[in-house]
Amino acid sequence: MAEEVQVEQEAPIAGIGTMVFGKWDVSEITCDDPGLAPYINLTTIGTPHSGGRHANAWFGKSKLSVIERFINNLMRTGKFSGKKQHCAKAYEQALDKIASKSGQNPLQKFIDAIVEAAPCEETTRIKVGAVSQPKAVDSSPSRRLDIALRNIAIGAAAATAKSRRTLTEGIVAELSKAAEGDVNSYSVGKREEIERIAASAR
């Protein structure tokens, strides 16, 4: 009897721990990239707004939900700067649209888009004597995730520039293209460009 009570207490509550926006269950989401999988944190407690509590902690962003990190990336310099509530609502509506189109959990498409947009190698500059030359280096999983989230957010926001597209439509378009590995997606195009430069610098 005591065990039954304990199980009831540990049952997931909508919006706390396992449900994103109180709708999407993260327990069924899979990541095809074994390098990125440990770094993708989907734990969301109610509203994705931590108030920057992770900011001064060593690798604090790894404890932050990728949902909130993506919303924070949407607030780049421009017309969405500082509008967190607007960006969060646009992202939630984008997930709803993706779910109604595909009939599947939209978070799976979001994770697939991150995997496709994450570059495996980059270039750095190494100085030999007085000559500085580019050298290809492997990217760490944490940096790969940062770059993927940044480029997906830039691509989604850029889709609204000089057009009547809303931010929701921009996010849907970018995630749909990126999840399929389409080079017309801004984030996938940037990944291929970074990896091509790195390949020539090997």
How confident is the model over 126-167, as pLDDT tens digits? 998 889 999 999 999 999 999 999 999 999 999 898 888 899
Backbone phi and psi for residue 42, each to the nearest 5 degrees, phi listed first: -105, 5
In a domain, 45, yes or no: yes
- State the pLDDT confidence band at 7, using cuts at 50, 70 and 90: very low
In a domain, 5, yes or no: no
Element (H, E) at 19: strand 19-20
pLDDT in the model for residue 156: 93
**Local confidence band at 13 (pLDDT 50, 70, 90 cut-offs):** very low
In a domain, 3, yes or no: no
The mean pLDDT of the chain is 86
Q: What is the mean pLDDT of residues 86-112?
A: 93
In a domain, 79, yes or no: yes
Q: Worst-scoring range by mean pLDDT, 12-21, 73-82, 92-101? A: 12-21
**What is the structure's pLDDT at 45?**
67
Asked whether the beta carbons of 202 and 125 are under 8 A apart, the reply is no
- Say what the pTM is: 0.86
- What percent of the chain lies above the pLDDT cut of 70? 90
Q: Please compute the mean of the pLDDT values over residues 112-120 and round it to a whole number.
A: 94
Residue 54 neighbours by CB under 8 Å, 6+ apart: 60, 61, 63, 64
- Does 190 score more than 90 pLDDT? yes
| 4 domain residue, yes or no | no
DSSP class of residue 138? E
User: For residue 14, what pLDDT is reported?
Assistant: 45
Count up the domains in the chain and report the number.
1
In a domain, 64, yes or no: yes
What CATH number is associated with residue 191? 1.10.455.10
Residue 8 lies in a domain: no
What's the pLDDT tens digit per position in 40-60? Answer: 988 876 778 888 888 888 888
In a domain, 2, yes or no: no
Range of the domain at 95: 13-200
> What's the pLDDT score for residue 129?
86
CA dihedral 49→17→107→116, nearest 10 degrees, is 80
